[in-house]
Amino acid sequence: MFKGSIVALVTPFRNGKVDKKRIKELVKFHLENGTSGIAPCGCTGEAATLTSEEQRGVVALVVGEVKGRVPVIAGTGSNSTKEALDLTKFAAKCGADAALVITPYYNKPTPEGQYRHYRTLAQEADIPIVMYNVPSRTGISMLPETIARLSSLKNIVAIKEASGSLEQISKILSLCDITVLSGDDPLTFPMMAVGAKGVISVVANIIPHDVVRMIDAFFAGDLEEARQLHYKMLPLCKAMFYETNPIPVKASLGILKKITPEWRLPLCPPQPDTLKKVKSALKSYGLF
């Protein structure tokens, strides 16, 4: 159901408030560059520091701007099942095509707790659900067996895998036929080689067309072009994680004049040395 280059959209701020004008411009930019889907209000979208009202507003704004031209996968995760359910129901009501739901963080549920969390959302919210496994942020990883168990539920359609482990992806796909999407830009190409269908991408915020080209080339059978694009993008992918995401990618978008580079505490502007390295990576790529 979901495949290709799906951008993990940043949330631009201006003077501390959500910059709706820039969100509209970013959506237009991605549609013009062939992006396969848009995922607002995930980790890259700084959902952790958005108020509930702001998060709902961003999701509704993106859905309204996209107008059904590509899928919108709205970030609705929380470490509270009730809060995640409320957000997921809102995403369904406002017309999002799916909900991106991170594994509950901080409280570190057991595999059974993870199963019951996602089962509750799948049963009580009428919207496809993309699970999101990112142990570097949540402190816990989903077992392939838990993912396979959840894949049998009607509304569980995919998983964004950011464990950094090709063995994890291989085990998941050996156990079930759920759609796997890369959550690690540097691993998108090798993950597709073992069965992933695309990526929910950070670097696509700044080079959407090239991410689309790599994935399209791969599925067209042109592995050499896909491989060349993978290696071309790799240094820039790495640069997006010189500091905590989305610090470098928002700095990059600021350099490219696409947003006003603002973050919400506890995230802050990059250190001067980091900014220098980010600028160097952008320049080496030919972006300015």
Would you list the domain boundaries of the chain?
A: 4-221
Q: Supply the CATH classification number for the domain 4-221.
A: 3.20.20.70
Q: Exactly one of 115, 118, 132, 285 is catalytic; name it.
A: 132
Contacts of 273 (CB under 8 A, 6+ apart): none
pLDDT digits (tens, 9 = 90+) for 222-246: 999 999 999 999 999 999 999 999 9
Q: Is 115 a catalytic residue?
A: no
Would you state the pLDDT for residue 288?
80
Say what the pTM is: 0.96
What are the tens digits of pLDDT across the range 98-136?
999 999 999 999 999 999 999 999 999 999 999 999 999
Q: What angle, 0 to 180 degrees and rounded to 10, lies between the N-to-C axes of helices 247-255 and 272-285?
A: 60
The active-site residue out of 3, 160, 197, 258 is 160
pLDDT for position 67? 96
Q: With 90 as the cut, is the pLDDT of residue 88 above it?
A: yes
Give the strand pairing for 98-102 and 17-18: unpaired
Q: Does the active-site annotation cover 132?
A: yes
